[in-house]
């Protein structure tokens, strides 16, 4: 008997198709948001970026000033007050 927990991928694969499709729709929505933020040149805060990426805000700032997320280079642009502002630049 295997005492190891199932991997996250196995857990996702075992979800009903309708739920997996809904998660994919949510992902595409997120990617569209990121593309619009990038194409319009919008700057977003660390907490907004964390929400977009579905990670903890502290994980955003711990990654450094420039890094890649999916199809975008994420760059720390400046600080306004106590907010760090980030820019997304599309890479293909």
At 46-64, the pLDDT tens digits run: 999 999 999 998 999 999 9
H helices present in 1-92, as ranges: 8-13, 17-40, 46-53, 57-61
* Residue 35 belongs to a domain: yes
* Residue 82 belongs to a domain: yes
Domain that holds residue 73: 8-90
* Residue 25 belongs to a domain: yes
CA 37 – CA 77 distance, rounded (Å): 14
Residues of the chain falling short of pLDDT 50: 1-4
Going by C-alpha positions, the residue among 77, 65, 71 that lies closest to residue 41 is 77
* Residue 63 belongs to a domain: yes
* Residue 3 belongs to a domain: no
The model's pTM is: 0.80
72 touches 34 (CB < 8 A): yes
Into how many domains does the chain fold?
Answer: 1
* Residue 1 belongs to a domain: no
* Residue 53 belongs to a domain: yes
* Residue 2 belongs to a domain: no
92 touches 39 (CB < 8 A): no
Upper half-sphere CA count for residue 13 (Cβ side, 13 Å): 5
């Amino acid at each position: 008997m295997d005492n190891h927990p199932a991997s996250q991928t196995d857990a996702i694969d075992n979800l009903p198709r309708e739920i997996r499709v809904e998660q994919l729709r949510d992902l595409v929505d997120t990617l569209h948001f990121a593309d619009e933020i990038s194409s319009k040149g919008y700057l977003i805060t660390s907490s907004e970026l964390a929400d977009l990426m579905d990670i903890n805000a502290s994980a955003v700032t711990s990654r450094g000033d420039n890094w890649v997320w999916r199809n975008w280079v994420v760059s720390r642009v400046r600080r306004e007050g106590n907010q760090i502002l980030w820019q997304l630049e599309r890479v293909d």
